[in-house]
Structure formats: structure tokens, C-alpha cells
């Protein structure tokens, strides 16, 4: 079921804000707290050599990026949330403020932990092929 009312969307927008903030502040502990705790995270990135098949590998790459990477601000558009029981899916378009085109199509797959908090199980980023000619 798609979530459309602002009150129900708020926890998901907050999770996305916290995720972005973990990058802006280079806070690996905050980043870790947003993911499932069983190492079963799968991450597909829009940049070469950044995919990960488990959380540990993903955190290692992100921690290295926090040390050396250039972290720019993002613009978020077209956020949609779908939820069923203990799983949720967020889709959105992200745009780097410094280079808004092409947009980055983003999917978060979330599941509830034992305390009812939403945690990231999977993320997928890909440049929008419909906008590649606009870059």
C-alpha cells in the first residue's frame, strides 16, 4: 500500500534525512545504526566498484569514503513510500547539488527491527538513463 499522508511519510523522510546527515557529518556510527544488524545488507551503487554484498564490506567502503571522499549536498525529489507489514520500500530521485543531471534513482528496502524501528536492508542507486543526454 502506498503511504500518502504526510504524518505517515514522516518516519521515512526522517530516516532518509538521518542517512544523508551521516554522510554530511561523516558519522559511521550513525550510518551503522540505520542498517539491519545481521550483516545481510546488499548495496548497489551508481559508481563503479562501490557495490557490496554484506554490511561489513559496505561499511568498509563508506568509512574509506568518509576519510577521502568529496561529499556534496543532495536534492531529493519524487519520494514515494510503499509499506506492507514489516517491510517498506522508498523510491526517490536524488540530485547532486553540484551536478543535478542526470538524477540518481534511489530505492531503499527497509524492514522493522525487533523494536519496531525501520532499518535499511537494501539500497540501489542508478543514474537515470532518461536524463543522460541532459548531462
H/E stretch holding 17 reads helix 6-24
Task: Name the strands in the sheet holding 42-44, side by side, starting at the edge strand that comes first in the sequence.
Answer: 2-3, 74-84, 87-96, 99-112, 118-127, 42-44
Query: Which string of DSSP letters, residue by residue, matches 51-67?
Result: -BSSHHHHHHHHHHHHH
Q: Print pLDDT tens along the chain (135 aa).
A: 999 999 999 999 999 999 999 999 999 999 999 999 999 999 999 989 999 999 999 999 999 999 999 999 999 999 999 999 999 999 999 999 999 999 999 999 999 999 999 999 999 999 999 997 644
CB 94 within 8 A of CB 82: no
**Which position has the grid cell 517491510?**
87
CA 84 distance to own-chain centroid: 19
Q: Give the pTM.
A: 0.92
Residue 86 maps to which CATH number?
Answer: 3.10.450.50
Q: How many CB atoms lie within 10 A of CB 28?
A: 14
Q: Counting beta carbons within 10 angstroms of the beta carbon of residue 6, is it exposed (0 to 12), middle (13 to 18) or buried (19 or more)?
A: exposed
Domain assignment of residue 27, given as a range? 2-134
pLDDT for residue 134? 47
Give how many domains the chain has, as a whole number.
1
Query: Is 104 strand, coil or helix?
Result: strand
Amino acid at each position: 500500500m502506498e503511504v500518502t499522508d504526510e504524518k505517515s511519510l514522516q518516519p521515512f523522510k526522517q530516516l532518509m534525512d538521518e542517512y544523508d546527515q551521516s554522510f554530511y557529518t561523516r558519522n559511521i556510527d550513525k550510518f551503522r545504526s540505520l542498517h539491519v544488524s545481521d550483516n545481510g545488507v546488499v548495496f548497489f551503487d551508481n559508481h563503479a566498484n562501490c557495490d557490496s554484498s554484506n554490511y561489513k564490506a559496505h561499511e568498509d567502503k563508506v568509512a574509506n569514503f568518509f576519510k577521502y571522499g568529496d561529499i556534496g549536498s543532495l536534492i531529493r525529489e519524487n519520494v514515494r513510500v510503499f509499506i506492507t507489514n514489516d517491510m517498506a520500500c522508498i523510491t526517490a530521485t536524488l540530485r547532486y547539488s553540484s551536478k543535478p543531471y542526470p538524477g540518481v534513482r534511489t530505492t531503499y528496502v527497509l524492514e522493522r527491527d525487533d523494536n519496531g524501528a525501520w532499518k535499511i536492508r537494501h539500497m540501489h542507486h542508478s543514474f537515470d538513463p532518461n536524463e543522460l543526454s541532459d548531462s
